């Protein structure tokens, strides 16, 4: 059975994906997150996913 993505999943990206979209290094995305220039929609300790995720709208 194929899993259907929900609306939230369709609107989020990883740091690597965000970097590709913008055209910067993944490290730049992390630096922007740490400086508050880009907000993560979750963090690893919240959902156990192990990655920060970002809204496509913010990217």
Burial of 38 (C-beta count, 10 Å sphere; 0-12/13-18/19+): buried
Going from N- to C-terminal start, the domains of the chain cover 11-55
Provide the pLDDT for residue 2: 58
**Residue 55, phi then psi, degrees to nearest 5:** -75, 135
Model pLDDT for residues 4-56, shown as the tens digit of each residue: 455 556 788 989 999 999 999 999 999 999 999 998 887 655 555 667 889 88
Provide the pLDDT for residue 7: 59
């Amino acid at each position: 059975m194929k899993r259907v993505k929900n609306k939230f999943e369709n609107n989020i990206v990883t740091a690597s994906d965000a970097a590709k979209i913008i055209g910067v290094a993944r490290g730049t995305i992390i630096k922007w997150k740490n400086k508050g220039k880009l907000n993560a929609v979750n963090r690893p300790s919240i959902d156990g996913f192990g990655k920060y995720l970002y809204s496509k709208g913010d990217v």
